[in-house]
Amino acid sequence: MRGNALRVSGVSHAFGSLRALDDVSLTVAEGRFVALLGVNGAGKTTLFSLITRLYNSRSGTIAVLGHDLRSDPGPALAALGVVFQSRALDADLTVAQNLRYHAALHGMPRAVARERAGEVLAAVGLTDKLDARVATLSGGQTRRAEIARALMHRPALLLLDEATAGLDVRARAEVGRLVRDLVARDGVGVLWATHIFEEIEPEDQVVVLHRGRVLADATAAEIAGDRGLAPAFLDLTGAPTESGGASGREAEGAP
């Protein structure tokens, strides 16, 4: 029986007088794809920063694979893989060098890292790019390489913050399909932050986050009803939508 890869309970966070998150609770089960849907400034990136401990959580609890992030951060962070919106690979290094560096940070022996690099690159369809410099990859290939890096240490939970930002429609679909395959094949729990409705499928669990508050937590089909997801989202939030969602980089009010 699978448990929760992530459990967020009653989490609030503020930047001075700006309340970025207000009593947020959600769960991501192992082997489940959960979409965190919100427009710019909804609080998605702030929540990811708390889960990854870029910010310290002062209220509520966050647990990764049952490990409390505040009292037991080592095992919690070890079970976590992250792909942020901004590119994080070293463009001057090869894909292999980037993966080996990540493996070293997690204490993986070199021989194990070499074998694991082959496995994750095969999983994301980049076996032929092992020795390619990251600077030579397309946007979609770079995203897949970042996902491969995040998977090197076999995380139970994968966080993706606007993972398709800047990609064309075809590359967006390829990245989404890749992540869903990982969920189905390897049982990874995924929290996929997005503002793009087309990236969400009817059976996906969707957490609607708006102005730091959770307004809905149900399947996309349940939220959409007979209207469709975009009109239902607009009814819930009153937020403007364009081209399947809001555009631009999320501004959280952080320094």
What average pLDDT does the segment 224-247 reach? 77
- Identify the pLDDT of residue 86: 82
pLDDT at residue 254 is higher than 70? no
In percent, the amount of the chain with pLDDT more than 70 equals 93
Contact 8, 60 (CB under 8 A): yes
- Considering the chain, what is the average pLDDT of its residues? 90
pLDDT at residue 178 is higher than 60? yes
How many C-beta atoms lie closer than 10 Å to residue 60's C-beta?
Answer: 17
Q: For 198, phi and psi rounded to 5 degrees?
A: -65, -15
- Identify the pLDDT of residue 1: 57
Chain segment 80-94, per-residue pLDDT in tens: 999 988 888 999 999
Closest to 159 in 3D by CA, of 194, 134, 126, 125 = 194
What number of helices (H) and strands (E) belong to the chain? 8, 10
Distance in angstroms (rounded) separating the CA atoms of residues 208 and 157: 20
Closest to 104 in 3D by CA, of 92, 95, 112 = 112
- Identify the pLDDT of residue 255: 33
DSSP state for residue 210 in the 8-state scheme: E
- Identify the pLDDT of residue 40: 87
- Identify the pLDDT of residue 248: 36
Determine which helix (DSSP H) or strand (DSSP E) holds 92, and give its type and residue range: none
Lowest mean per-residue pLDDT among 75-79, 130-134, 142-146, 246-250 = 246-250
Distance in angstroms (rounded) separating the CA atoms of residues 164 and 186: 21
pLDDT at residue 194 is higher than 50? yes
| Structural domains in the chain plus CATH codes | 1-79+156-255 (3.40.50.300), 90-154 (no CATH)
- Identify the pLDDT of residue 246: 42
Chain segment 102-113, per-residue pLDDT in tens: 999 999 999 999
What average pLDDT does the segment 109-125 reach? 94
245 — pLDDT class (breaks 50, 70, 90) = very low
240 — pLDDT class (breaks 50, 70, 90) = low
What average pLDDT does the segment 30-36 reach? 97
Chain segment 41-67, per-residue pLDDT in tens: 899 999 999 999 999 878 999 999 999
Per-residue burial over 68-107, b = 16 or more CB atoms within 10 Å of its CB, e = otherwise: ebeeeeeebbbbbbbbbbebebeeeebbbbbbbebbeeee
pLDDT at residue 157 is higher than 80? yes
- Identify the pLDDT of residue 249: 35
DSSP state for residue 14 in the 8-state scheme: E
